[in-house]
Amino acid sequence: MLKSRLHEIMEPYKGGPQSSRISLLTDIFILVCIVISCALIPLGHYYPEHEAFFWQLEIVFTVIFIIEYLLRWYAAEKRWRYPFTFYALIDLAAILPAILMLTADLMMLRTLRGVRLLRLLRLLRLIRLLKFFRYGFLIYRSFVSVRIWLSYITEQYRLTDLKKLFITSMLIWIAGANALWFTEAVLLEHKGPYGSYWQSYWHILIVLVSGIEDKEPLSLPGRILVTALLIAGICIVGMLTAEIVSVLVNRINRSGRIAIKPSRTKLERHIVIIGHSRHLHNIIVQLMAVLKDRHYILIVNRRADETRTDGSELYKKVMALPGDILKPAILEQACLDKALRVIILSSGRASDKPADRDNHTLMKTLAAYCHNRNIPIVAEIRDLQSWKYTQALEDVEFMAAFDFGVRLISQAVLNPGVTQIFYELMTLTGDSNEFYTLPVPDELIGQTFKQAQLHFLNMDKADITLIGIDRSTERQPNTTFFINPAGQKNGLSPPDPVLQKRDNLVVIAYIRPSFAKPRKEDLWQGRIL
């Protein structure tokens, strides 16, 4: 138990139920230590008088990294193999130079040649920067979130317009102060309030900001110039007031509605929901229950800006993009090339026939699919007659609520109460069992499905129930499933199939099983959210 908990804390934070806030805080602490320890090298060069203090800090950071290394080694699943892994070698290389320097000090090897060697070892401490590879995904995801947040804040508060206004005001201020000083100095030989160069800046600032002529120029050209600056100051203050009022009015008008995606904000690693239905709120609730605040959700439909919130933090990372996804401009604004998932809802007027709604859904699906064929797409259809038109898009997952309802009613007739079981399994929350599709562990390859079931039942530290096998091909993933295949004699699979390396297991578990941790490639490419 201690080992698994320690492994959870020391592994880089990935979010989700398999990671905790302690893991995130640990990552941040280690990152800060790496940055400060590397900054000690240039500080020691520029401030040699504090070299003794910097060396003491270096010892402290080295001890921290040694403890980190030992804890990771203890928490590793295969301890004998851990020292030879890529990240373990990087961690060792990061602390080895400081250990050698400390050893040299203890052995009193500070000869002239030894001092030069130690200086080289100090430079080798830059290897510590390689430790950032371990936290690459965390840093990348944080960078994306900060970039999106800054872009959103910039457009929401019109910071671009305010920046232009500020630059214009600065130029008018500097040009006006210099022009007035030059006029007064040349014509009046440094007499009057604008005869002093630096005082001219102060007087012109009062003229621009307050609109009050604090000091009167003595020359006629100076008076004309101050009058022009007074008018410019009134315009600047008026434009600034208009910008502030515009921001306040927009916030009041948007109160109770989701935020509109700014045109210049480039979303990345987000989920796109195209269309609108009465299930939209529940879908957002379900997604946010699992995703938390790790990904943005973008709602795209013609009236997306009218979507209301429930006043909670649930919609903190939900944005609206009003418009038709069939238009190229809206398609580009949705940033589908950087999205992780696309959900297409069956939307339309109440008087529309199901077939007409499906036609719109198919057109939207085709537009999203042609824009990015590598993104998983889930589309909702209403009429079962539309299934024949979906066969051309094999990579798109189409769902018909009516078809599910018919099958569930048939199940409920034979097994009363089964609907509650389906309800629990299909509900996404932060503390419920979920379906997971996982690669077959190495120790189960070659064993039968029944033997694999017994393997998971005998695991005391994890509650995992094996229910099926995913034997889909790489060309058509997530298409061929065998649920409880033991005893099947339909020709599609042996009575008790033998697990192969290319198979995936379908399990029910409270959290993602630890034997199948998300690979960094799957996280980077968005296969796992």
Contacts of 148 (CB under 8 A, 6+ apart): 265, 266, 267, 268, 296
CATH T-level fold of 431-525: Alpha-Beta Plaits (3.30.70)
**By three-state DSSP, how is residue 138 classified?**
helix
Q: DSSP character for 404?
A: H
Where in the chain do CATH 1.20.120 domains reside? Answer: 2-143
Phi, psi (degrees; rounded to nearest 5) at 121: -65, -35
Strands 318-322 vs 341-344: parallel, antiparallel or unpaired: unpaired
Scanning 47-111, the segments in alpha helix (DSSP H) are 51-75, 86-106
SS (H, E, C) 405-450: HHHHHHHHHHCCCHHHHHHHHCCCCCCCCEEEEEECCHHHCCCEHH
CATH topology of domain 2-143: Four Helix Bundle (Hemerythrin (Met), subunit A) (1.20.120)
- DSSP classification of residue 189: S
* DSSP-assigned states of every residue in 318-354: EEEEES-TTSHHHHHHTTGGG-SEEEE-----TTS-H
d(CA 425, CA 16): 18
Instruction: Assess contact for 343 and 398: CB atoms under 8 A.
Output: no
Residue 53: count other Cβ atoms within 10 Å of its Cβ. Answer: 13
Query: How far is Cα 434 from Cα 16, in angstroms, rounded to an integer?
Result: 13
The dihedral formed by the CA atoms of 120, 122, 123 and 125, expressed in degrees to the nearest 10: 130
Question: How far, CA to CA in Å, does 484 sit from each of 412, 445, 450, 507?
Answer: 20, 17, 9, 11
Q: Range(s) for CATH 3.40.50.720 in the chain?
A: 259-404
- DSSP letter at 126? G
Q: How far lies 128's CA from each of 29, 82, 97, 125, 526, in Å?
A: 15, 19, 10, 6, 29
pLDDT score recorded for residue 273: 92
Rounded distance between C-alpha atoms, residue 502 and residue 471, angstroms: 8
Give residues with Cβ within 8 angstroms of 40, minimum separation 6. Answer: 54, 57, 58
**Topology of domain 259-404, CATH:** Rossmann fold (3.40.50)
Contact predicate 499/447, CB 8 Å: yes
CA distance 527 to 376: 9
User: Degrees (nearest 5) of the Cα angle 168, 217, 165?
Assistant: 10
| Sequential DSSP letters for 284-301 | HHHHHHHHTTSS-EEEEE
Does the domain formed by 159-253 have CATH 3.40.50.300? no
Contact between residue 217 and residue 192 where contact means Cβ atoms under 8 Å apart: yes
Pairwise CA distance, residues 424 & 415, whole Å? 16
Beta strand 434-439 with 464-470 is unpaired
φ, ψ for residue 301, nearest 5 deg: -165, 175
Per-residue pLDDT 10s for the chain (529 aa) are: 566 666 666 666 555 545 566 777 777 787 788 778 778 777 877 887 887 888 888 888 888 888 888 888 887 777 788 788 777 777 777 777 777 666 655 554 444 344 444 444 445 555 555 666 666 667 777 787 888 888 888 888 888 888 899 999 899 888 888 888 888 776 666 666 766 777 778 878 887 777 666 567 777 787 888 888 888 888 888 888 888 888 888 888 888 888 888 888 888 888 999 988 888 888 888 888 777 777 889 999 888 888 888 777 788 888 899 998 888 889 889 988 888 889 998 877 766 777 788 888 888 888 888 888 888 888 888 877 777 777 777 778 888 777 777 777 877 887 887 778 777 777 776 667 778 888 888 888 888 888 888 888 877 666 788 888 888 877 666 778 888 886 555 555 556 788 888 888 888 887 777 666 666 656 655 666 6
Q: What angle do CA 354, 337, 426 make, to 5 degrees?
A: 50
Closest CA relative to residue 483, chosen from 441, 425, 428, 430? 425
Strands of 397-400's sheet in order across: 259-260, 318-322, 297-301, 271-274, 341-344, 377-381, 397-400
Which residues make up the CATH 3.30.70 domain(s) of the chain?
431-525
Domain with CATH 1.10.287.70 in the chain: 159-253
Q: What angle do CA 243, 249, 253 make, to 5 degrees?
A: 145
**Separation CA 281–CA 287 (nearest Å):** 10
CB-based contacts of 53: which residues, under 8 Å, 6+ apart?
none
Classify residue 523 by burial, with Cβ atoms within 10 Å: 0-12, 13-18, 19+: buried
What Å distances lie between residue 51 and 34, 56, 112, 122, 438, CA to CA? 18, 9, 18, 12, 53
pLDDT at 148: 82
Give the span between the Cα atoms of 405 and 413, in whole angstroms: 12
